[in-house]
Structure 1
Amino acid sequence: MNSFAHKSLVVQLQAGATDRFPVLAHLSYDADDPFAVTVVFSHDGRVLAQWRLDREMLGDGLLRPVGVGDVRMRPVSTGTWEELRMEFFGDARADGERHHAVVFAWAPGIAAFLRQTHRIVAPGQEEVRVDDFLATVIAGG
């Protein structure tokens, strides 16, 4: 059985109050880290940002608003188009505010990717390999 899943989607990065422009979102899942989904945002071959997201939170964000910290998600419906609005907060800027980005993804594409991850490790079947983690810590890694 495959222990990896990957999907690339064109998403919309919001610039300003209403303008959006397309960027690529590369989603990846590895059964060795069963609670996380890694998302790499890129444009013109340059990596713009990389985030590790909680897989369950990503799924919940398709249904209702979630998150209160650095990552917040909520479903958005335009009537004909279902999106997942993802809001990311980064480090502080020189003016005291935090870096902030809003990305809109096609919700059915995210849902399809999550179904793929659920075939690899079903929700509730995730395991934390504490012995492997402790061995890594003790080894200084």
Structure 2
Amino acid sequence: MIPFVRKTLVMQFRAGATNRFPVLAHLGYDAEDPFAVTAVFSHDGRVLARWRLDREMLAAGLRGPVGVGDVRFRPVATGQWEELRMEFLGDARTDGGRHQAVVFAWAPAVAAFLRETREVVPPGRERVRVDDFLTQVLAGG
């Protein structure tokens, strides 16, 4: 069995009040980090952002609104087009607000990626190597 899943999808990115523009989203899942999905957004060969997302939160966002902190997901339907709206909040701005970016993904493509991750590690079968984790924490501190 292959212990990872990699997909590159075209998504739509919107920062602030700008119009949407296409970006590449490189999604990664590794059985060694079974609860997380890595998303790297790039445009014209430059990395715009890198986020580590909760796999189950991402799946829940396809069904309904989730998240109250820096990352929020919710489904959006416009006619027959189903999207996953991913909102990312960043650092504070000088006006008191926060930087914000919104990414729109074609929901069926994200669902297909998540199905592949579940073939690698089914929900409920995730394992965390506590000894390895503690060794890392103690070595860093």
TM-score interval for Structure 1 and Structure 2 normalised by the shorter chain: over 0.9
* 2: CA distance, partners of 1:55 / 1:15: 24
Question: TM-score if structure 1 supplies the norm length?
Answer: 0.95
1:1-141 matches, within 5 Å, as: 1-15=1-15, 17=17, 19-140=19-140
Aligned residues: 141
- How well do the aligned residues superpose, as a CA RMSD in angstroms? 1.4
Which 4+ stretches in 1 moved above 3 angstroms?
15-18
Q: Do the aligned partners of 1:15 and 1:21 also contact (CA within 8 Å) in 2?
A: no
Instruction: Give the percent of matched residue pairs that are identical in Structure 1 and Structure 2.
Output: 74
Question: TM-score if structure 2 supplies the norm length?
Answer: 0.95
CA-CA distance at 1:128 after TM superposition: 1.3
**SS across alignment from 1:19:** coil
Q: Do the aligned partners of 2:15 and 2:100 also contact (CA within 8 Å) in 1?
A: no
CA-CA distance at 1:132 after TM superposition: 0.8
**SS across alignment from 2:20:** strand
Q: Which amino acid aligns with 1:8?
A: T
Q: Which amino acid aligns with 2:86?
A: M
CA-CA distance at 1:94 after TM superposition: 2.5
Q: Do the aligned partners of 1:7 and 1:27 also contact (CA within 8 Å) in 2?
A: yes
Q: Which runs of 5+ in 2 are unaligned?
A: none
